[in-house]
Amino acid sequence: MLYIVPTPIGNLQDITLRALETLKTADAVLCEDTRRTQILLSHFGISKPTYRYNENDERSVARCLDALKSGKTCALVSDCGTPCISDPGWKLVKEAVAAGIKVSSLPGPSAVACALAGAGITGGAFTFLGFLPRKPGKAAKMIASAYGLDVPVVLYESPYRVVKMLELIAKTLGDDTPVILARELSKVYEEWLRGTARSLADELSKKNKVQGEFVMIIDRPAAPEREDENDGQDAYF
């Protein structure tokens, strides 16, 4: 049995009761970084063997799969948030399903859901791109394609690249493209920044050092009441 267990994205109090129970009863915990996961387990008084799971190492995937095939119950976690969502895990889940192993995905902390809920934008459809390729050309093409769907676009970005990404958005979609930045979600220094791609790029570039992980939401330009948001479900029938 394989359990996919989300872990807190910053505040340890955000872990769910079901996640704790699953970690307590599992035979082993599969994780990105055994040291980080041991800190989490120790905080909640849980003592379990941890095994590093490396998506890019076929032997690592095979070892974890062998443990599951032998009948062990394993909990799959990432360093923070929900495994498989811009985090390792999908390959193991795919192999487990193919091998007939039961997989259960627990609900829990997710930076993308947290950011969208606090953004104050439409609660309808959105496109999630996660971390974009490092090559500007590929990143720009993905942004333009996703934005062409006329729904908000959500990205993850590091503090080292956030200014360059804002500049790329300004160049690709226009300086006045609305952007919302959610920084250090659920942590002590949680911060929300709202503006345009250009204004936020200028604001952050003036800082001596940009810190923290970012969720970036590229919103649609303000416009008169949109027809698609008022059609209702009856429009499909």
Per-residue pLDDT at 6 exceeds 70: yes
116 and 101 in a common domain: no
Burial 226-237 (b: 16+ CB within 10 A, else e): eeeeeeeeeeee
pLDDT value of position 113: 94
Domain boundary among 80, 105, 130: 105
Structural domain count of the chain: 2
Give this prediction's pTM: 0.88
Domain boundary among 105, 136, 170: 105
Span 66-92, average pLDDT: 95
Tell me, what CATH number does 124's domain have?
3.30.950.10
Q: How many CA atoms lie within 13 A of 134 on its CB side?
A: 2
Whether 235 maps to a domain, the answer reads no
Give 166's pLDDT tier (boundaries 50, 70, 90). very high
How many other CB atoms sit within 10 Å of the CB of residue 47? 8
Are 177 and 194 in contact by the 8 Å Cβ rule? The answer is no
- With respect to residue 225, please indicate whether it lies within any of the assigned structural domains: no
Give pLDDT tens digits for 151-162.
999 999 999 999
Range of the domain at 210: 111-218
H-only helix segments in the chain? 17-25, 34-43, 58-69, 90-98, 111-119, 136-147, 162-173, 197-205
Are 26 and 127 in contact by the 8 Å Cβ rule? The answer is: no
Helices (H), 44-133: 58-69, 90-98, 111-119
The whole-number average pLDDT for the span 89-97 is: 95
Are 208 and 128 found together in one domain? yes
pLDDT-above-90 percentage for the chain: 87
Average confidence (pLDDT) over 137-153: 96
**143 and 65 co-located in one domain:** no
pLDDT greater than 60 at residue 229: no
Higher pLDDT among residues 138 and 228, named by residue: 138
Check residue 39 and give its pLDDT: 95
Residue with tokens 């949109």: 226
Both 86 and 119 in a single domain? no
- Which of 84, 105, 126 marks a domain boundary? 105
Predicted confidence (pLDDT) per residue in 45-78, tens digit:
999 999 999 888 888 899 999 999 999 999 999 9
Are residues 33 and 87 both part of a single domain? yes
Check pLDDT > 80 for residue 215: yes
Tell me, what CATH number does 48's domain have? Answer: 3.40.1010.10
